[in-house]
Structure 1
């Protein structure tokens, strides 16, 4: 499990994440949750192991070539959504209201949907 997380975490960099948000983010319905776990990962109170999980989840989502390639219309984002849902579940205790507030400042049209 740690090796798999580490593998996907290496695809995460702040630059790649910003590029993903600029190019693909508008098309992704789970963007608010993705930003929320990003803010949780940046929080100094989040344990290192949880940061690895969140970094791995973000890395998996921004990687275009995963188990179900994102270019497949209709189903390409399903595996990404599942990975993100699992990360939200594991990180639930560490996601603070302020993480949702930061997301809502960036994406004012979204509402908390935990």
Structure 2
């Protein structure tokens, strides 16, 4: 099931600073657990992990942080448009949301974010 463009846009709308704080807390609490479950389902996981580090970087512009936090919060929710536990389909909606967020803010994802992503994913392979 693919998400339509208006729905993706709605998901990626940066919320208030309070909403962003809630999203950041949710993302920090379960991001890496979700990454482990989705490693084989999301073909651009290095970009996703780099986006995580970008979203937590205080030097990232607030609007980009908001978009990334919204996408990452959607990613860590186990029950979304297509529940993540559905084999073969569970992360398809997450992929659409993450890819749209990545494309919107890719100019803010720095080499240092990618370096940390590669290090983190390398540690997960052990």
* TM-score normalized with structure 1 length: 0.77
Report the CA distance between 1:31 and its aligned residue. Answer: 2.9
RMSD: 2.7
CA distance 1:86–1:52, shift in 2 (3 Å): same
Pairing 1:95–2:109 present: yes
Equivalent pairs counted in the alignment come to 108
**Any unmatched runs of 5+ in structure 1?**
110-114
Contact kept, 8 Å, 1:57 with 1:84, in 2: the verdict is yes
Q: CA separation of 1:40/1:77 partners in 2, compared to 1, >3 Å: closer, same or farther?
A: same
Instruction: Please report the TM-score for the alignment, with normalisation by the length of structure 2.
Output: 0.70
- 2:46 matched to 1:32? yes
The 2-side partners of 1:20 and 1:80 are apart by 11
- Greater helix share, 1 or 2? 2
Report the counterpart of residue 72 of structure 1 in structure 2. 86
- Decide whether the 8 Å contact of 1:5 with 1:53 is kept in 2: yes
Cα distance in structure 1, aligned partners of 2:45 and 2:88: 17
Offset at residue 33 of structure 1 (A):
2.0
